[in-house]
Amino acid sequence: MKLITAIVKPFKLEAVKEALLALGIEGMTVSEASGYGRQRGHTEVYRGAEYTIDLVPKVRLEVLVDDTNVDPVLDAIVAAAHTGKIGDGKVWVIPVDSVTRVRTGEKGSDAI
Amino acid sequence: MEFNTGDTAWVLVASAMVLLMTPGLAFLYGGMTRAKSTLNMMMMSMATIGIVTVLWVLFGYRMAFGHDGNGFSGGFGLANIGADSTSGVAINGTTALTIPVIAFAMFQLTFAIITTALISGSIADRTKFFSWCIFAVLWVTLVYFPVSHWVFDFGDINGNGAGWLAKRGLQDFAGGTVVEINSGVAGLAMAIVLGRRVGWRKDPMRPHNVPLVLIGAGLLWFGWFGFNAGSALGANHLAALAFMNTQIGGAAALIGWLIIEKLRDGRPTSLGAASGAVAGLVALTPSCAYVTPAAAVVIGLLAGVFCSLAIGLKYRFNYDDSLDVVGLHMVGGIIGTLAIGLFGANSVNPAGVDGLFNGGGFGLLKIQALGVVSVWVYSFVVTLAIGYAIHKTIGLRISRDEEIEGVDLSEHAETAYEFDGRGGGGGGVGSVFTGSHKEEGNY
Residue B125 has pLDDT above 90, yes or no: yes
Do B102 and B193 belong to one domain? yes
Per-residue pLDDT of A34-90, as tens digits, reads 888 887 778 888 988 888 888 888 999 999 999 999 999 999 999 999 999 888 999
Q: Do B316 and B218 belong to one domain?
A: yes
At A39, which helix (H) or strand (E)?
Answer: none
| Domain-located, residue B400 | no
How far apart CA A20 and CA B353 sit, in angstroms, is 76
Which residues form the domain of B430? Answer: 418-443
Least-confidence region, from B9-23, B81-95, B164-178: B81-95
pLDDT tens sequence across A3-12: 999 999 999 9
Name, of B30-39, B76-85, B416-425, the range with top average pLDDT.
B30-39
What number is the average pLDDT over the span B111-139? 98
- The answer to whether the Cβ–Cβ distance between B315 and A49 falls below 8 Å is yes
Is B430 in the same domain as B357? no
Whether B389 maps to a domain, the answer reads yes
In a domain, B413, yes or no: no
**The pLDDT value given to residue B94:** 64
- B137 alpha carbon, distance to own chain's centre: 16
Closest-CA residue of chain B to A44: B206
Q: Which residues of A touch B29 (CB under 8 A)?
A: none
Q: Give the pLDDT confidence score for residue B439 in this predicted structure.
A: 59
**What average pLDDT does the segment B272-287 reach?**
98
Residue A75 confidence (pLDDT): 96
Q: What is the mean pLDDT of chain B?
A: 92
Residue B405 falls within a domain, yes or no? no
* Cβ pair A51:B206 closer than 8 A: yes
Residues B101 and B51 in one domain: yes
Residue-level pLDDT at B1: 61
Same domain assignment for residues B442 and B328:
no
User: Has residue B369 got a pLDDT over 60?
Assistant: yes
Classified as helix, coil or strand, A60 is: strand
Residue B81 lies in a domain: yes
Closest residue in chain B to residue A54, using alpha carbons only? B204
- In this structure, are B298 and B358 located in the same domain? yes
Same domain, B384 and B440: no
Q: Are residues B422 and B317 in the same domain?
A: no
Lowest-confidence pick of A91-100, B54-63, B85-94, B118-127 = B85-94
> Complex ipTM, two decimals?
0.76
Considering only CB atoms, which chain A residues are within 8 Å of B269? 45-46
Same domain, B294 and B434: no
Is B336:B327 a contact under the CB 8 Å cutoff?
no
Residue B423: per-residue pLDDT: 44
Percent of chain B with pLDDT over 90: 82
Q: How many Å lie between the alpha carbon of B202 and the closest alpha carbon of chain A?
A: 9
Q: Is B333 part of any domain?
A: yes
Number of domains making up chain B: 2
User: What is the pLDDT averaged over residues A89-106?
Assistant: 95
Cross-chain Cβ contact B261/A51 below 8 Å: no
Residue A45 touches partner B, C-beta closer than 8 Å: yes
Same domain, B206 and B158: yes
Q: For testing the chain A interface, which of B269, B318, B422 should be mutated: the one with the most A CBs within 10 Å?
A: B269
Whether the pLDDT of residue B301 is over 70: the answer is: yes
Res B422 pLDDT > 50: no
Decide: B257 and B308 in contact? Cβ < 8 Å.
Answer: yes
Residue B410 domain-assigned?
A: no
- The whole-angstrom separation of Cα A18 and Cα A71 is 17
Query: Shortest CA distance to B166 belongs to which of B146, B143, B150, B179?
Result: B150
Q: Are residues B431 and B348 part of one domain? A: no
**What's the CATH code of the domain at B262?**
1.10.3430.10
Rounded Cα gap, residues B135 and B139, in angstroms:
6
Query: Which is higher by pLDDT, B341 or B1?
Result: B341
Indicate whether B406 belongs to any domain.
no
Tell me: do B284 and B428 sit in the same domain. no
Cβ neighbours of residue A103 closer than 8 Å, sequence gap 6 or more: none
Q: Following DSSP, what letter does each residue of A69-95 receive, concatenated?
A: GHHHHHHHHHHHH--SSTT-EEEEEEE
- State mean pLDDT over B112-137: 98
